[in-house]
Amino acid sequence: MKRTLWAWAAALTCAAFVSMPAYAGAITGLVNTGAGLTDGQVDTNYVVVSVPSADGTSSGATVVADNGSFPFPYWMVPPTGSNWISAFGRNSNLDPSASGTYDYRLTFQVQAGLAFTITGEWASDNSGSEILVNGAPSSQTAAGFSSLSYFSVSGVGESSGQDTLDFIVVNDAQNGGNPTGLLVENFDYTVPEPASMTLLGVGLAGLGLISRRRRRA
């Protein structure tokens, strides 16, 4: 009797893991800022979707590499595989009289309805006030431009297949010497494995039912 139950348990457990969905690559499009680009090139992975009205319309996020010119060395040197980007390059005359808010958007893809958690690190000039996940706030902030801040955000895949991370950066008002920038790197993510857990639960429930029937007989 016990051998039979253990055999059932082993078979059902194996079935659960064999049927487990392959989640490697379940999220695509999580790219560091400025990945693989050099100074002055446009990072097409990130789009500046909102800038202060006084600054007009941005043509895109521009890579700002560490080449020894301002705003370096004030900005931290970007880790290998990433670079700073800015709505207006190294423009040092932004937001002279009122703090400006900039929205840098990264679009990525995840299976519709799939829950996920994304982690990484970011730095900003001046401060990162929020990360929006598909438009929802996550209460994640970045301290500034001299060091990286860890973030962890969660969401559910959109039915459209187009998911977004919006990095909201506040540039403090300053008359001169006042660029804005964003650095994001070290992305990672986790997703659940609902199918395998469901199958395992059904299998264990079935074992319990078989056991009760044996005892009654």
Q: Which of 107, 123, 124 is nearest to 47 (CA)?
A: 107
46-100, pLDDT tens digit by residue? Answer: 999 888 866 655 567 889 988 888 899 999 999 999 999 998 888 888 999 999 9
Beta strands in the chain (DSSP E): 27-28, 46-50, 62-64, 84-86, 100-110, 115-125, 127-133, 136-137, 149-156, 163-171, 181-190
**Average pLDDT taken over every residue of the chain:** 82
118-154, pLDDT tens digit by residue? Answer: 999 999 999 999 999 999 999 999 999 999 999 999 9
